Structure 1
Amino acid sequence: MSRRGGGRQPEYRRDQPSPASQQVGGRGRGGGGGRGDGAGRGTGGGRGGGGRGAGAGGGGGRGRGAPPPFFTPTPPPAASFPVAPPPAVAPSSAASSSAPPPPTPASSSSPVASLTSGKLTLQDPSPMAQAAARPVSTKALAPPRRPGYGTIGEKVMVRANHFLVKVADTDIHHYDVSITPEITSKKVNRNVMSQLINLYRDSHLGNRGVAYDGRKSIFTSGALPFTSKEFVVKLENDDERSASASSGKPRRERQFKVAIKLASRADIHHLQEFLRGRQHDIPQETIQALDVVLRALPSEIYTVVGRSFYALCLGPKGELGDGIDYWRGYYHSLRPTQMGLSLNMDVSAKAFHEPLLVTEFIQKHFNFNLSRHLSDQDRLEVYFDENQTQTSVLQYFLDRYNMNLQYVSLPALQAGNDTKPVYLPMEVCRIVAGQRYSKSLIIMVLGENRGKQPQMGQWNMINKKMVKGGEVNFWACVNFSTRVNRNFPFRFCDELVNMCNSKGIVFNRDPLIPIHSVQPNHIERALNDIHKQCAAEHIQKQLKGKPLQLLIIILPDVTGSYGKIKRICETELGIVTQCCQPRQALKLNKQYLENLSLKINVKVGGRNTVLNDAIQRKIPLVSDRPTIIFGADVTHPHPGDDSSPSIAAVVASMDWPEGTTCEVAFESTGGYKPHRIIFYRDGVGEGQFSQVLLYELDAIRKACLSLEDGYLPPVTFVVVQKRHHTRLFPVDGQQTDRSGNIQPGTVVDTSICHPTEFDFYLNSHAGIQGTSRPTHYHVLYDENNFSADSLQVLTNNLCYTYARCTRSVSIVPPAYYAHLAAFRARYYIEGELSEGGSTSGGNAHPVEIRALPMVMKNVKDVMFYC
């Protein structure tokens, strides 16, 4: 059973289809997403404290945007028709707001307002927790038991893509496998073991079912006739098959020794007792063994990427252009839930290289004329064969493979390495099917945001002003786009200034220095010149305050400059920027200008929205006592990238120059230290729960004790998980949002949740496209003794306090801001982010990791990462 409750705020986009089964309960409504820079203040607890932002242990994020007005969590909205209404957002109205206020959740204003970036320091590839030497808290390893189930809101029925699994009452035996010589390829490993099983299943393996994980383990239903045994397996060398077939030479074989040794026995009875609630320690090894068994067959017949399986037989493929196709597939995993052992299944899609001849590829995607002859310098004529005999490529393939090459003028492809190259003609090379495309796909078309009435997790700013408008007295603008004419930046700035003033921002109409356009290949010099000119103008006119509060930048037409601009302005010049895409700016769309005003306001110290319930101190366990809310995330480099570090970021409702001094800032602003700490931690896998509890909770304790002996405010530590495969679907077609998804505010804490621990799924946003993905919240520590309702409502209402858009978002904003901050820091050390993909691994020498540059003081005081 599920219920619906309230929540409101900025936009966060997610989409993904998925199958459905088990009916469970929930409550809800949804949200959106965005990008940006931002600044903001926040209020904590009943009074809270003004907030600014700072990043600890890393930092960064992309984009533009306004920081959330200060956060003030809201009390559980009253249960309401189909869903509890979102929290009431109170943008201070300019003209009286005629539009009905969003349902009761709240908009941005809570202790979680900003990221402090005093120091952005590199973290170890492991999460940010290696700070504490020895834990001072001995209770860190015991997640709290569920305090009960939520009751607020209307009960509705939803379906989930979880399927009940029945496990035979037979123990599973685990055997270690050692293959000599050692193989790194899972495919070859599986071929070796498949050959072994085919040869010896009846004679030596006792006709047992065998499941292999592709690495070092096999699992059997029942014991094998031995505890330790060695086998010899011979495999044909696949690379030699085509050569031997054409040349008539015998095929080569590779010989492997396979040692199998009993390792352990998975206790199915223990798993059954845990699912009945009679055992408290989860039998993770047993679940992993069952998962290997479940994955064994599809791993042999489908293309495996991560935990998903892909094949052309699983659905029609589609073309993405530039030699990239997408394949359909599915994901599955076993999870212990309240209803028993559950099989979580989800559909999936992945980009793969299009399989075709290399000659066809260059002809199709590079418009290459195969009949065009190349000069001798462009093509390869000589090849040394195995006998070190010099011969032409044409003659070599004729002698060895009886093959006449057609495109003799084309250059050869180099395989092998520089010391021992292997040259192959293009026409004999084929891009093999099933090769994953690992880079980020180029976004060809972006959707547009449109203002809607304040319902179903959305509202707009028509006839409304910010709660607290900031001031922009000194600003400038530079245009790097060649797409716009020289007069457009003047018109664009005029429209933007008008919009900002109409929303309550005090925005000087005249720039500090004249608006001008610069060629995009002179970005660094132009930014330095603007900085110097503004400083000189400030001194000459004897002006007070910052020389330049805001620099409006119309970005170049070609991507690749955003990260460079942010790094220069934020870490070298100390300039707060608002970047604008020329494609959007040219439209002069009011909705776009309104979104920019939201981002600009928080960057100059303003506040966009505040929760009514926060103002009236109606938020249980938060409004009654000063509370500080943290968000933390860790961003990792692409697989295979050894030169980039993992970067951690922490945001909170108060500004701090150091990660351990945020509470000092809270005290200096509010006049007291926080009485409660709520910590939302993103980027944690289920296998890391114990480690995170042990080290990070201990680090929080030590930070508190460093302020005052005996100062140990109660801590609630919640892990935020977005990368899961649970999907929820409405049963009643009348109880959906506009995209056909479950309504925002729907929460599920039964059936598919943990058998004993405190967790829940919350769909806090309105879906935009595809199937909405609820966020999973798992409480690892709770000294504040939250009830299910109070934590669920607080989390949902916080999702209406995101500063960058007028939608509720799908992930609690403190964690969202931390993600943006960590992402921004990656720009500082990597420049413009690569297209995503793996860089070449196999570096023999360690690569020195660059240190994160310091964010300038007048930038880190605001939410620059929004």
Structure 2
Amino acid sequence: MQSLQLARRPGYCESGQGIPISANFFSFQLSTGGDKIQKYAVNFEPAIADSLGKQRERVLNKVKGQLIEHIGKYVFATTALYSAQTSTQVTLISNFDNTDYTITVTPTGPVESDLEIKAFYNKFFNSVQGRLNLVMIGRKFFNPDRPVELPQHKLAIWPGYASSVGTYENGCLINIDISHRCLRTITVYDQIAEIRSKNPSDFRNAVAKYFIGAIILTLYNKKNYKVDDIDWDMSPNSTFADKNGQQSSFKAYYGSKWGKNIVHDDQPLLRCKTKQIEALLVPEFCVMTGLTDEIRADFNIMKDMAQATKKEPHMRLEESAGLIKAIKSNEKANIEVVNWKADISIQPVTLTGRVIAAGSIMMGGNANFKINDQTGSFDRDIQNTMYSQPNLDKWGVFFCENDRKLVESSFMTTLNQVISTYKVQCQKPVLFGVKSDRWNDWEQILRSNLNPSIKMIVCILPGSRGKSRLYDDLKRMIFSSLPVPSQCILNATLKKDKGLRSVVNKVIMQINAKIGGVPWALQNLPFSDAPTMAVGIDVFHKAGSHSVLGFCATTDKNFAKYVSLPKVNAPSEEICSQLSECMVQAITQFAIENGRPPARIVIFRDGVSDSQRSAVLEGEIPQIKQAFSKLRGDGKLPEDPKLIFLVVNKRINARFYANQGGKVNNPPLGTIVDRAVVEKNGYDFYVMPAKATQGAMTPTHFHVIYDDTGIRCDEVQQLAYRMCYSYYNWSGSIRVPAPCQYAHKLAYQYGERANNSGPPIPHTHWGTTRCLYFL
């Protein structure tokens, strides 16, 4: 098969209205007198493994002065170093840890590839940031000297930066965004003590569950490590052999090396493996970093953190530029910049964006309305007859008996009001009281009353947000063995009179989508001139478990009805192997419902990093083409559909700001950026699809990696934006096109329901039904 080529930009957005935009990208130039950056291979004898980057760097630093005399200022990147100066091979002797290393530095020629130039620039800029006394955690740098304290939550937040250098249409640019890192203000030892007081009988397992996999920071030298295990057999009084072979206790080592006195002898040690060594750390001198599920579930903590971290647009842009100002004002960092003759602008890149309209929504009874481009929300507008509403004739409500009064009064009263407002054609649901909140009782009554003819069940489950014990068991059963659409509501939600009507409004729309209806549809979408199928693809990954492929494809001209195909993969199985099967099923179903197969297919692929794009091009697209070949061979496809494949990325550091009347604000919804800060030889664009409730707006980045449709880029961008308004869990715009979000939700629902045997195996019924049962 002929190798596939990444798509090239066919043009630029000309639709909508132009708007001046500032981006958090800054010009970066190295003055090398016209010469290219030179690369040198570095060899150590005795050999030091490539994975031991820190050790290689330390050995090389012993002869840094001599090396600069031969090749000039350089940047070292584990296996190679880069310099602006051409030189011949040089051999040096470095003594490190009483060992003589012979270092041979050999020129390999100028750096030519964009990827390698980008790698050099990022290594150089990281070395400059390293001179600002910032702490590197992951790939970001944080300032420990300006913490934001949240004493009520025993947390501190370090401000910092996420930066990357790349080559764009406007040349070499640095993208700088502000970032934050959450740290505990109590030590890991204190946290272990808290866990022990709450779980005295099983505290070791509780400690392991909480800390293994977490990132911790050592207080004495600000290094970060990932916890691999808790060693309960060791303590600060345990001994180890130092580099001279002498036995020393951890207590004595910390006293002599760091001047730290260990107070608690009754603590285990934390095992942390790095590329160089296995470290044993003392909990008393460590703090945990990052957010746990427990913190994310705490509304008050997240609210206070948002207030501390969500910066208004003008402040966020100023703080991004603040990194460059800090470099220029810091003697050590600025010397590095001057020595390399680097020119870094403190002025952000400016460009012209285009603002396109969100369009209109179609409802039942031929009603329609224009989407409010200011808010992107239409919560009130859709409280009417839905676009398509199947008759809801067989359905029931299940609940614990002690919630009967709550269900019969509060819930059913509100439900009847909503049914009247939306003009839903339905029979009265049958009420089923379950005698307890034990799963065995629920399973018994569900299995004895449900069959495939039942349209829907509503389950009022005991518990509060994210804490219902019955939810996982119920969903596993529904997904794998009892295929009846279900809608779950927590009894804690029903107890809140305020907002209950809004909740039930959303519930009735979800119920409609789950039984094959369409709550609303988008009017006059692009690509409507020929039968077109829109597809969302995402993969759920969880360490130590099966992955789940979520594949959702539209089967109607409004891109509103879906065939949903979850596929559970074995731990070592590639998702590509099931893509072909999914595509065959989707095209077959499309042909059944439309009388012909699709002429065009638009794929939105979520969850792919920049480094994985080529792998998707080479691995996943051939599988899709293989499905076309199979269908042609079976006589079900007269010719291959035209295909456009977009990778969707919402975890990005690019930010855009509207320059309006001398003020810096968030850009309007529907702003498209496809100039200046996009790839020089690719086909990518940014969309501002969802309003920021607080702080700066986050764009979504689209990469078109394959395109044989010949469609204008304006239409591709319009479809990508407008389909952000057709996700039936939210009456407004979301950050990705609806097929993408449905695929994510589908994969997540199966992946998160995994037990020791893996995720539930999808019942065959779900592969043939046209409903979004997993919402």
TM-score, scaled relative to structure 1? 0.64
Tell me what 2:509 maps to. Answer: 598
Which string of whole-angstrom CA distances, capped at 9 and with x for unpartnered residues, describes residues 246-300 of structure 1?
xxxxxxxx74747454374443xx6xxxxxxxxxxx6211121121111124347
Query: Does 2:515 match 1:587?
Result: no
Alignment of 1:237-386 (within 5 A): 255=99, 257=101, 259-262=103-106, 264-267=108-111, 283-299=114-130, 301-313=133-145, 315-319=146-150, 324-354=155-185, 356=187, 358=189, 362=193
**How many angstroms apart in 1 are the aligned matches of 2:166 and 2:240?**
54
Equivalent residue letter for 1:350: R
Tell me what 2:89 maps to. Answer: 226
Alignment of 1:390-401 (within 5 A): none
Larger strand proportion of the pair: 2
Alpha carbons of 1:791 and 1:626: their partners in 2 closer, same or farther (altered >3 Å)?
Answer: same
Which string of whole-angstrom CA distances, capped at 9 and with x for unpartnered residues, describes residues 58-112 of structure 1?
xxxxxxxxxxxxxxxxxxxxxxxxxxxxxxxxxxxxxxxxxxxxxxxxxxxxxxx
Q: Which moved more, 1:668-677 or 1:167-176?
A: 167-176
**Retained in 2: the 8 A contact 1:334–1:344?**
yes
Tell me what 1:431 maps to. Answer: 285
Offset at residue 204 of structure 1 (A): 6.9
Query: Does 2:458 match 1:551?
Result: yes
Alpha carbons of 1:264 and 1:688: their partners in 2 closer, same or farther (altered >3 Å)?
Answer: farther
Query: Does 2:742 match 1:817?
Result: yes
Offset at residue 755 of structure 1 (A): 2.2
Q: Which moved more, 1:256-265 or 1:760-769?
A: 256-265
Alignment of 1:410-429 (within 5 A): 411-414=266-269
Alignment of 1:38-117 (within 5 A): none
**How many angstroms apart in 2 are the aligned matches of 1:320 and 1:577?**
42
Equivalent residue letter for 1:799: C
Alignment of 1:747-786 (within 5 A): 747-786=672-711
Offset at residue 401 of structure 1 (A): 7.5
Alpha carbons of 1:167 and 1:635: their partners in 2 closer, same or farther (altered >3 Å)?
Answer: farther
Alignment of 1:466-481 (within 5 A): 466-479=386-399
Alpha carbons of 1:756 and 1:225: their partners in 2 closer, same or farther (altered >3 Å)?
Answer: closer
Larger helix proportion of the pair: 2
Q: Percent identity?
A: 19
Q: Which moved more, 1:713-722 or 1:437-446?
A: 437-446
Tell me what 2:411 maps to. Answer: 493
**How many angstroms apart in 2 are the aligned matches of 1:356 and 1:257?**
40
Query: Does 2:526 match 1:625?
Result: no
**How many angstroms apart in 1 are the aligned matches of 2:292 and 2:483?**
36
Equivalent residue letter for 1:689: R
**Retained in 1: the 8 A contact 2:88–2:106?**
no
Which string of whole-angstrom CA distances, capped at 9 and with x for unpartnered residues, describes residues 613-653 of structure 1?
2xxxxx45x2221111111122333xxx3x22443222101
Query: Does 2:549 match 1:648?
Result: yes
**How many angstroms apart in 1 are the aligned matches of 2:660 and 2:238?**
71
- Pick aligned residue for 2:655 from 710, 720, 727: 727
Which sections of structure 2, spanning at least 5 residues, go unmatched? Answer: 201-231, 242-248, 273-277, 304-369, 556-562, 566-580
**Retained in 1: the 8 A contact 2:670–2:721?**
yes
Equivalent residue letter for 2:17: E
Which string of whole-angstrom CA distances, capped at 9 and with x for unpartnered residues, describes residues 543-579 of structure 1?
xx61462232324237263334322221132232212
Which string of whole-angstrom CA distances, capped at 9 and with x for unpartnered residues, describes residues 510-551 of structure 1?
31x5234632xx22x13321223314xx7xxxxxx6146223
Structure with the bigger RCO (C-alpha within 8 Å, sep 6+) is 1
Tell me what 2:308 maps to. Answer: none
Equivalent residue letter for 1:318: E
Alpha carbons of 1:218 and 1:439: their partners in 2 closer, same or farther (altered >3 Å)?
Answer: farther
**Retained in 2: the 8 A contact 1:486–1:517?**
no
Q: Secondary structure of the equivalent of 2:66? A: coil
Offset at residue 467 of structure 1 (A): 0.9
Q: Secondary structure of the equivalent of 1:346? A: strand
**Retained in 1: the 8 A contact 2:158–2:181?**
yes
Equivalent residue letter for 1:763: M
**Retained in 2: the 8 A contact 1:329–1:347?**
yes
Tell me what 2:606 maps to. Answer: 682
**How many angstroms apart in 2 are the aligned matches of 1:517 and 1:302?**
59
Tell me what 2:421 maps to. Answer: 502
Q: Secondary structure of the equivalent of 2:81? A: strand
**How many angstroms apart in 2 are the aligned matches of 1:444 and 1:435?**
17
**Retained in 2: the 8 A contact 1:829–1:851?**
yes
Equivalent residue letter for 1:682: D
**How many angstroms apart in 2 are the aligned matches of 1:381 and 1:751?**
57
Alpha carbons of 1:382 and 1:664: their partners in 2 closer, same or farther (altered >3 Å)?
Answer: closer
**How many angstroms apart in 2 are the aligned matches of 1:508 and 1:725?**
50
**Retained in 1: the 8 A contact 2:753–2:759?**
no
Tell me what 1:171 maps to. Answer: 36
Tell me what 1:807 maps to. Answer: 732
Equivalent residue letter for 1:232: S
Q: Which moved more, 1:665-674 or 1:486-495?
A: 486-495
Alpha carbons of 1:503 and 1:359: their partners in 2 closer, same or farther (altered >3 Å)?
Answer: closer
TM-score, scaled relative to structure 2? 0.71
**How many angstroms apart in 1 are the aligned matches of 2:453 and 2:538?**
32
Equivalent residue letter for 1:865: F
**Retained in 1: the 8 A contact 2:645–2:705?**
yes
**How many angstroms apart in 2 are the aligned matches of 1:645 and 1:775?**
28
Offset at residue 609 of structure 1 (A): 0.7
Which sections of structure 1, spanning at least 5 residues, go unmatched? Answer: 1-134, 236-253, 271-281, 370-377, 388-394, 539-544, 614-618, 832-848
**How many angstroms apart in 2 are the aligned matches of 1:386 and 1:729?**
55
Query: Does 2:717 match 1:853?
Result: no
Taking only aligned residues, the RMSD between alpha carbons, in angstroms, comes to: 4.2
**How many angstroms apart in 2 are the aligned matches of 1:288 and 1:352?**
30
Q: Secondary structure of the equivalent of 2:82? A: strand
**How many angstroms apart in 2 are the aligned matches of 1:326 and 1:368?**
28
Equivalent residue letter for 1:644: S
**Retained in 2: the 8 A contact 1:344–1:726?**
yes
**Retained in 1: the 8 A contact 2:254–2:261?**
no
Query: Does 2:472 match 1:563?
Result: yes
Q: Secondary structure of the equivalent of 1:202? A: helix
Alpha carbons of 1:207 and 1:385: their partners in 2 closer, same or farther (altered >3 Å)?
Answer: closer
Equivalent residue letter for 1:532: R
- Pick aligned residue for 1:441 from 295, 306, 328: 295
Offset at residue 196 of structure 1 (A): 3.3
Q: Secondary structure of the equivalent of 2:295? A: coil
Alpha carbons of 1:181 and 1:297: their partners in 2 closer, same or farther (altered >3 Å)?
Answer: farther
Q: Which moved more, 1:696-705 or 1:258-267?
A: 258-267
Alpha carbons of 1:306 and 1:671: their partners in 2 closer, same or farther (altered >3 Å)?
Answer: same
**Retained in 1: the 8 A contact 2:468–2:490?**
no
Offset at residue 466 of structure 1 (A): 0.8
**Retained in 2: the 8 A contact 1:192–1:233?**
no
**Retained in 2: the 8 A contact 1:266–1:285?**
no
Offset at residue 162 of structure 1 (A): 0.6
Equivalent residue letter for 1:306: G
Equivalent residue letter for 1:514: F
Tell me what 2:367 maps to. Answer: none
Alpha carbons of 1:853 and 1:465: their partners in 2 closer, same or farther (altered >3 Å)?
Answer: same
Alpha carbons of 1:412 and 1:756: their partners in 2 closer, same or farther (altered >3 Å)?
Answer: closer
Offset at residue 747 of structure 1 (A): 0.6
